Amino acid sequence: MNLTPKSPKRIIDLWIEVLSVEENGKIESMNTKLGQALVAGELFDLSLYQVLRGRATAEMATLLDELIVVETRHLAFWQDFFQIREARLGFGARLRLSVFSGFAWLFGNAGASLLLEAIEINGIKKYLEVWELYKDQEVGQAVRQILDDELRHEDAIVSDAITRQVHPERIRDIFLGLNDGLVEILGAVSGFFIAFQTASAVLMAASTVAIAGAFSMAAGVFVAVGSEREAAAVERAKRRYLASKEVSDDENAHPVSSALIVGVSYFIGALIPILPVFFGAKSVIVSLITAGIVISGISFLLAFLSGMDVKRRIVTNLIIIALAVGVTALIGFVARYFFGMAL
């Protein structure tokens, strides 16, 4: 064994070599994870397009055929770039695929179009973030190629399709109505349980608030959409006058249908915390658990369809629920113990 002391320079060189190996290992590990994430993302998009293609109308099928070609090319590109030969969808991805497939089945072409728009927004957002992190590296240049394809080809395909669909924003209204009704009535149920402490009183009070809230939401939407239509009509008339020619009428949502959609959605959302009480729950716990699960699902869909961060949206909504329940519980406590409002 050689016990001769090494020179300080040799020791420094060895440390530099070790650190270099460790750094290269970290970079390689990061690139592997990035590659797996990019391949998984493209595989999910491709799988969703193929599922939607199976039940699409003729017009939507043509669009999806174009998108399938684009996504197949993107998937092959990343598999070749990162040398990933086998790609599979994990459990979470398969679950999301089932949810989105059900969403498209429920809402038809409008739902499918909204999903395509959301995938496009989320895809571009993802690739822009990756490009910012790796723009000075080889992977950054590869991302640039995909981004060019996304922005020039895929975006044009999807944007053209969205303009041909009828009122996909109504689907967002449905989920916003569900969200509002669920959160508001869950808070009310929490306060009523503390104030009244009897299921029958809670059921009666919460149902009354839910019905009143649904009518209030519907009336608000009716007035808002009616005002928007009047303002749009004035704008079109002004353009026709200035242009001295016919201007096509933009298709706008009707106040009655919009009010009906939001009002019914609100009431259905309100039923979620009420139904456990109707079926015999003696405390707010069952309503809280049920509402928490449903609000997480709604938050996930709303965040995805709006291009927002999914985890942030879910956490934000759960915090809002916690605040609503806490405040109404405090009001119920004050009403019971300081004003004697017990039934």
From first to last of its 343 residues, what are the pLDDT tens digits of the chain?
444 444 544 544 544 454 444 444 444 455 677 778 888 888 998 899 999 888 777 777 888 888 888 888 888 888 888 888 888 888 888 888 888 888 888 877 777 877 887 887 788 788 888 888 777 777 777 777 777 777 665 555 555 555 544 455 666 678 778 888 888 888 888 888 888 878 888 889 888 989 998 898 888 888 887 887 777 777 777 777 676 555 555 555 678 888 888 889 899 989 989 998 888 888 888 888 888 888 888 778 777 776 677 788 788 878 888 888 888 878 877 777 766 655 4
Same domain, 86 and 32: yes
* Count of domains forming the chain: 2
The residue out of 123, 143, 163 marking a domain boundary is: 163
Sign, CA torsion 303/309/315/321: negative
Q: How far apart are CA 151 and CA 157, in angstroms?
A: 10
Total-model pTM: 0.64
DSSP letter for 153, please. I
Same domain, 145 and 244: no
The residue out of 163, 190, 209 marking a domain boundary is: 163
Q: Do 78 and 66 form a contact (C-beta atoms < 8 A)?
A: no
Q: Do 253 and 225 form a contact (C-beta atoms < 8 A)?
A: yes
Q: Mark out the alpha helices in the chain (DSSP H runs).
A: 8-54, 58-82, 91-134, 138-149, 155-163, 169-196, 199-243, 255-278, 285-306, 310-337
Same domain, 131 and 226: no
The residue out of 131, 163, 195 marking a domain boundary is: 163
**72 is in which domain, residue-wise?**
14-163
Residue 87 CA: distances (Å) to CA of 35, 54, 65, 92, 146: 11, 22, 21, 14, 19
Residue 4 covered by a domain: no
Same domain, 203 and 318: yes
Q: How far apart are CA 100 and CA 88, in angstroms?
A: 18
Residue 74 covered by a domain: yes
Tokens for 62?
Answer: 């043509």
